Amino acid sequence: MEDNVFEDTTGAGVVLTNEPDWPEGPVPWGITIRRNRFVRGGTCLGYADSPHGAMLVVRACRLGHGLAETKVVRDIVIDHNEFTDPLGAAVFLGGATNVLVRHNQVRADAKAEWRRSTGAILIEHSAGIVLSDNQVTDPSPGTTSVAMILPSVERGEGGVRIVDLKTALASGAQAVDDRRAR
């Protein structure tokens, strides 16, 4: 998926997921999302303020709409995308393995609207995640970190490896909020 614009969407601009409750499709794998623009995605309440709401979602589901217990979404590349004024996270990764997120830019104005405080990239129950050469310029109070790594992510670099992160965040925000050690 390349060279698209997703603007003012009520949900995510792109969702890579299986859907066992509907049954509508298999588990996605081997997908590249490149050179897309996401602008103000997740505008409806109940989405941007939900725990997994993001402009781009990579998520393995189980019956009952929960996050899958296994990391089955795999081999995903998220490359050279622009995310402008996210209302929640720019990218959510959950139940995924072997995901490369590189050369992406997240930008927001200090007065941009936001619906929940979170990291620009939110990672849950995943492994083999590489964040490389991403830039987040977001002085809004809603973005608390560039990467928020939840306790269910594998420890160490087998869970998440971060290379050359560029940040300009609000006072008190941090580059990486790693909750695995807490």
Span 67-87, pLDDT tens digits = 999 999 999 999 999 999 988
Which tokens hold the place of 27? 């588990």
Count CB neighbours of 107 within 10 A.
Answer: 17
Which DSSP category does 182 fall into? -
Q: What's this model's pTM, rounded to 2 decimal places?
A: 0.94
pLDDT attached to residue 126: 97
pLDDT attached to residue 46: 67
Q: Per residue in 133-170, pLDDT tens? A: 999 999 988 889 999 999 999 998 899 999 999 999 99
pLDDT attached to residue 153: 97
With a pLDDT cut of 70, the percent of the chain lying above it is 97
Residue with more model confidence, 110 or 107: 107
Which DSSP category does 61 fall into? B
Q: What is the DSSP string of 80-146?
A: S-EEES-SSEEEEEESEEEEEEES-EEE--TT---SS-EEEEEEES-EEEEEES-EEEE-STTEEEE
Confidence bin at 128 (pLDDT 50/70/90): very high
Q: Report yes or no: 93 and 65 within 8 Å, Cβ to Cβ.
A: no
With a pLDDT cut of 90, the percent of the chain lying above it is 66
Which tokens hold the place of 32? 């590249």
Residue with tokens 């995308």: 81
What are the residues facing 105 on neighbouring strands?
82, 135
Which tokens hold the place of 42? 């997740």
Q: Per residue in 27-72, pLDDT tens? A: 999 999 999 999 988 777 766 667 778 999 999 988 888 899 999 9
